[in-house]
A = this chain, B = another copy of it.
Amino acid sequence: MLADGREIIYFDEAPGLGRAQVADTRPLGPRAPGPALPHGRAEWGTRWDPLAGEWVVIAAARQDRTFLPPADQCPLDPSRPGHPTEIPADSYDVAVFENRFPSLAEPLGRCEVVCFTSDHDSSFAALSPRRVRTVLEAWIDRTEALSALPGIRQVYCFENRGEEIGVTLHHPHGQIYAFPFVAPKLAQMVAQAAAYADGNLFDDLVASEVSDGVRVVTRNEHWIAFVPQAARWPYEVRIFPTVLVPDLPVLSPAAREAFGPLYLDVLRRFDALFDRPAPYIAAWHQAPVGDDGARSRFAAHLQVLSVRRAAGKLKYLAGTESGMGVWVNDIVPEQAAQRLREA
């Protein structure tokens, strides 16, 4: 427990380290009151957009969140004497804690931070396969725990990497959002899967990519990574387990073990595309919570997308994308796959 009552959970790779017993010595004030249930003019809460038929999150207090602090003031480093951080222990493997500047909190949802390593200057792509397995176990644990909270409809694990997409802390970390609604992108996939008449949409999609082959980037016995036929982003892959599952907790032990080597391969290919590390978003799509019909038709997968379209050039979302939801992609998906295979 952190000084203001937020929960912290350590995922240790060795037993008996006692990290969870280390007290948070910071004089933090109490947490702000949680967001309001949907109504009127709350400064923190969800609001319904009647033209889009979607929920929007208003989170005014977050405007003051920590913004690119100097490296010696990183809140995600382990604590050291005279420099207490968000993580009281003096070392950790993987640590998860409730976000101090959440977009969603009780009673509407929850936002957690996942620290992938205590090494401030590392990156996900530089983790060991063993560590990726620990991160995956953290995602699985949190998916189960957050799915059990009242009112949660979706658990979303993701990583933003790179200042180019607005990352405000460089320390390798991801986030987990527990939503009180099914997010628009997930709702679309659920609807498409329900409307698909010829079997299972995801089965057929993966089978078609395997059969076509030209957009497959890499694969192993338990996972396959391909560029989607209608990719929206300059470099984008979707990573599916070869045995489809609705969410991460259903993955077999063998699939869990095989994930790290494949994902590290994908991330290293992204980083090798240009002269600088790739700015990317990695987004876990998991089935809605408590919707057996949707779960039976959905296949969890990881989407990795980069906004860098050429050396020194980024893909911006301008009038067609932000105004109309029409993505224009300058990179041909088959060529993106070839570049990633050769990277």
Contacts and interface: CB of A to CB of B under 8 A. Distances in A.
Contacts of A333: 41, 47, 58
Interface stretch (A3-11, A22-30, A315-323): A315-323
Copies in the complex: 2
A54 B325 contact: yes
Nearest to A160: B318
Given A56-B230, A63-B331, A310-B63, A326 B205 contact: no
Nearest to A158: B319
A328 interface: yes
A48 interface: yes
Contact of A185 (B43, B196, B325): B325
A139 B52 CA distance: 25
B214 A41 contact: yes
Contacts of A313: 67
Nearest to A63: B330
B332 A60 contact: yes
Contacts of A188: 51-54, 325
Interface stretch (A73-81, A129-137, A176-184, A264-272): A176-184
Contact of A283 (B63, B282, B324): B324
A323 B156 contact: yes
Interface of A: 41, 43, 47-60, 62-63, 67, 103, 156, 158-160, 165-167, 175, 177, 179, 183-186, 188-189, 191-192, 195-196, 201, 205, 214, 228-232, 281-283, 303, 305, 309-310, 313-320, 322-335
